[in-house]
């Protein structure tokens, strides 16, 4: 048995372990699930070491002698006090440091979520489609405005927003299903083609 | 010291980030972000990873010690973690190393099968949710059907116009709905960020004194 065949058999075994959940929850699926968690975390650890620890911490401090970086390293080490009953408050310092970037959320949300969307919505209504998009955007926004009761003509208009959202959710659902089906086809192609060699 | 100083760090540092967006000066974009914030946050990041690994290991070892339900499977999680770390630290991360073999033949097949599995559960959930009980559910079902059929050869066999209808659904009603929702998310993002910056929202600091 060649090494490639062995590798394919290992991949096929774990693929079938996960697929076995379609029958019912079983020890093979449980084993594969836990193994997946362990391997994924291990992979993350190795890459964090190689991509973050070495270039941003080890090399600057020990090779470039940028000793001032020991201070943020000590702040980072305070994360580990999270498990201490009496000193867990120390872990708030590195958390606070990372939470500073929330300040960027104000202008960035304002830009990407509001200004860009408003600019795209405020175009000359030169076609029926553009008019439909404009009406839909206003109707969806008003659907989420709860300070006024959704009754009468206003209520009917907000219902239009609900219909727009239903079409949008349906489209998103369809795309999600198709993405999953593509993955399923990929796995079946692997089992039937690479492992069983039934596809030439 | 326990709560006010971390809060002050978030508020002062957060407002410097706000200034960075509105004042295009090198003090903010270069000195503050590139020379101070990013290197410091990268230096702290590995400790966050260590915290996560410690949490996982503690959870599984405690499960084994207590002989909690399905405790035997914790050995696989811990073993997988240990073997991957040994493979990665021992032989590196280049192509052809044990780590990449594990990634290609264990991690990748399992994770993509896990996502492929969701196709079946999405289908069964859709059957339960979509049994057209109301006009809205019917519209949702129809939009999903048109978008799905337009992507497969069967759709073209049913009608040549199906891909155009699907594209129209994506470009017009879907676009309007997403835009309305994105505007709401944008307003919510600004409000949440401001709540944190002004010290109103403090749950990220955890409980206790």
Residues of chain A with pLDDT under 70: none
- What CA–CA distance (Å, rounded) separates A102 from A33? 34
Q: What is the pLDDT of chain B when averaged over all its residues?
A: 92
pLDDT grade, residue B132 (50/70/90)? Answer: low
- Interface confidence, given as ipTM, is 0.88
Can you give the pLDDT at residue B125?
81
- What CA–CA distance (Å, rounded) separates B120 from B117? 6
Q: Closest Cα of chain B to A182: distance in Å? A: 8
Mutation target to probe the B interface, by most B beta carbons within 10 A, among A9, A167, A172, A181 is A167
B121 in contact with chain A, both atoms CB, cutoff 8 A: no
The residue-averaged pLDDT of B9-33 equals 89
pLDDT digits (tens, 9 = 90+) for A162-193: 999 999 999 999 999 999 999 999 999 999 99
The residue-averaged pLDDT of B28-55 equals 93
pLDDT digits (tens, 9 = 90+) for B94-110: 999 999 999 999 999 99
Residue A67 in contact with residue A61, Cβ under 8 Å? yes
Can you give the pLDDT at residue B121?
87
Going A143 to A145 to A149 to A153, the CA torsion angle's sign is negative
Q: Closest Cα of chain A to B5: distance in Å? A: 8
- What CA–CA distance (Å, rounded) separates B38 from B44? 10
pLDDT grade, residue B136 (50/70/90)? Answer: confident
Nearest to A73 by CA among B84, B184, B198, B45: B45
Residue B133 has pLDDT above 80, yes or no: no
Query: Is the Cβ pair B180, A137 closer than 8 Å?
Result: yes
Can you give the pLDDT at residue B131?
72
Residue B208 has pLDDT above 80, yes or no: no
Say how many CB pairs under 8 Å bridge A and B.
404
pLDDT grade, residue B10 (50/70/90)? Answer: very high
Q: How far is CA B105 from the centre of its chain?
A: 24
- What CA–CA distance (Å, rounded) separates A126 from B92? 59
């Amino acid at each position: 048995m060649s090494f490639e065949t062995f590798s394919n058999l290992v991949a096929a075994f774990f693929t079938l372990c996960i697929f076995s959940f379609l029958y019912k929850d079983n020890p093979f699926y449980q084993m594969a699930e836990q193994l997946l968690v362990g391997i994924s975390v291990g992979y993350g650890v190795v890459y964090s070491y190689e991509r973050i620890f070495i270039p941003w911490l080890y090399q600057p401090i020990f090779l470039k002698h940028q000793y001032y970086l020991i201070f943020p390293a000590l702040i980072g080490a305070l994360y580990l006090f999270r498990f201490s009953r009496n000193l867990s408050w120390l872990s708030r310092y590195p958390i606070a440091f990372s939470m500073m970037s929330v300040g960027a959320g104000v202008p960035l949300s304002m830009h990407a979520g509001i200004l860009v969307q408003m600019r795209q919505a405020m175009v000359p209504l030169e076609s029926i489609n553009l008019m439909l998009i404009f009406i839909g955007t206003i109707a969806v926004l008003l659907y989420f405005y709860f300070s006024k009761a959704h009754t009468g003509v206003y209520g009917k208009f907000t219902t239009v927003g609900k219909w727009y959202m239903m079409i949008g959710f349906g489209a998103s659902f369809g795309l999600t299903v198709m993405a999953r089906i593509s993955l399923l086809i990929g796995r079946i192609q692997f089992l039937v083609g690479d492992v069983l060699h039934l596809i030439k | 010291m326990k709560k006010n100083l971390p809060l002050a760090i978030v508020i002062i540092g957060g407002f410097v980030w706000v200034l960075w967006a509105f004042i295009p000066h090198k003090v903010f974009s270069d000195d503050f972000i590139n020379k101070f914030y990013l290197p410091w946050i990268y230096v702290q990041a590995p400790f966050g990873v260590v915290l996560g690994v410690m949490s996982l290991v503690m959870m599984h070892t405690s499960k084994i010690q207590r002989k909690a339900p399905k405790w035997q499977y914790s050995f696989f999680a811990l073993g997988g973690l240990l073997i991957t770390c040994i493979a990665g630290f021992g032989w590196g991360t280049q192509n052809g190393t044990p780590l990449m073999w594990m990634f290609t033949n264990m991690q990748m097949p399992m994770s993509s099968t896990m996502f492929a599995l969701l196709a079946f559960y999405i289908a069964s959930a859709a059957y339960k949710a979509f049994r057209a009980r109301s006009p809205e559910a019917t519209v949702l079902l129809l939009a999903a059907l048109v978008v799905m059929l337009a992507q497969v050869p069967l759709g073209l066999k049913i009608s040549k116009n199906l891909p155009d209808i699907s594209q129209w659904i994506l470009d017009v009603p879907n676009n309007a709905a997403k835009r309305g929702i994105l505007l709401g998310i944008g307003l919510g993002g600004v409000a949440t960020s401001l709540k944190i910056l002004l010290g109103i929202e403090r749950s990220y600091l955890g409980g206790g004194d």
